[in-house]
Amino acid sequence: MIEFRRIKLVLIFLIPIVISIYFLIAWHRDPILSDGREYDTLAKNIISLKGYTLNGITPYALRPPLYSLFVALLYMITKCNPTAVVIVQIFLVAFIPYFLYKILIFAGFEEKRSFFAALSVALYPFGYIYVQQLVTEPLTTFLFVISSYFVVRVWLNDDLKFCEVLISGIIITLPALSKSQHISLISALVVSLTIKGFIEKDLLKKVKLKIIPLLLGALIVLSPWALRNYYHFKDPAILGEGAFGELLLKGFYETKGRFLLLTFWNEKNSGELQSFKDWKSKMDEAEMLSKQEKVSLGVAKKKIAIEQIKKEPLEAIRGYIVRFYSFWVMIPTEQSNKIKFLVIVVEITLLILSAIGFVMFYKPLINRLFPIYLCILAENAILALGHMEARYSITLKVFIIMCIGFLLSELIERLSNVRKLTISYNHHSNKE
């Protein structure tokens, strides 16, 4: 029995490696494209002792630093070889289903259900598309799942010591330094514990033993980044200097004139879209405003974005709704329409099955994983305010797609019970 369990765990580790290699061969892309160019430059400047800069001079803070430091570390070892980053990322994502399995076992779910949940995530094809590129998703998802273990541990265990919760707070906050919106994970846990404290009438105890050490852990992780940004920009900029203004402005225009699942359909040819031209014009306007009023570029972008939203509130609301649901559907913008349509069908089918699985098991899922699902809801709502891409949802989908495994295990169990009843009935009939 123990040996068979080991075989299953090896299986959910190997499947992501095989799928990652398949995408590496079938849909190969240069590791240093789009965002990858910036991460490559940032990493090289770090190891050249030019600081966290793009041009080697001007301090940079739009992107949080952890992924760039991760790339820089591998560059130091391999003499700036991006292939090494890809190889490490393949192994990082291979551990994700395994750690998910451990989380579910710790949370009290049956071994069979936990395995099928991990298997579903291991087989989810779109979780591996970006492994071959220098983008944050592989590292961020790895960190998010590990952090989720500590979230569940703090959420369910009332016997933890102050130092244990403090260390958990540090680990839970780490994903925020890779992808800034994941500050929602520690925030969701604190909010969840506060709600739980009110319901159980022991809020003061939870504040002393859990909330305070969690916040202290978050402070330890975020304060060096915040102090560094305050020194350079006179703004703590925990989420990235000027990031909110830029995302708000870009988000408003990226869905303007585009509807439903077609939001990112024509992204490849976005230079031809009027909304894209309007956005570029507003970005230039923000640069001028920044110089005229002597404010940061981020502040200027936020001011222009808010003014535009006030002028067209209905368009802003419509765009928010479009971004809110299109966030979950992966559309490969550089592929043929046939591939795009196939991907949409597969994504929607998987999300529907996930929703059915979640509804069937919502009580244990909410009771045992409430902070994680609160984080997922909060991040989706927050990201829809500004620019986002479907790849941002890959991390969150781990705890969505796993519900297919719960559904599958339930179906197998019911079919097995029917088969047993049938055999028993036939056996009884033969006796008579």
In tens, the pLDDT along 349-363 reads 999 999 999 999 999
pLDDT bucket at 271, cuts 50 / 70 / 90: very low
The pLDDT value given to residue 137: 93
The pLDDT value given to residue 174: 96
Residue 109 has pLDDT above 70, yes or no: yes
The pLDDT value given to residue 261: 47
The pLDDT value given to residue 289: 83
Residue 134 has pLDDT above 90, yes or no: yes
From 156, 81, 149, 187, select the one nearest 399 (Cα to Cα).
149
Name the average pLDDT for the chain. Answer: 86
> CA of 347: how far to CAs of 60, 351, 394, 411, in Å?
36, 6, 12, 21
- Residue in the block written with tokens 């829809």: 384
Residue 368 has pLDDT above 90, yes or no: yes
Least confident of 56-70, 259-273, 376-390: 259-273
Least confident of 3-17, 68-82, 94-108, 328-342: 328-342
In angstroms, the CA 11 to CA 47 distance is 37
In angstroms, the CA 222 to CA 237 distance is 10
pLDDT bucket at 262, cuts 50 / 70 / 90: very low
Which residues face 106 on adjacent strands? none
The tokens describing 234, both together, are: 């006179």
The pLDDT value given to residue 268: 46
* 9-23, 328-342, 379-393, range with greatest mean pLDDT: 9-23
The pLDDT value given to residue 34: 79
The pLDDT value given to residue 129: 85
What percent of the chain stands above pLDDT 90?
50
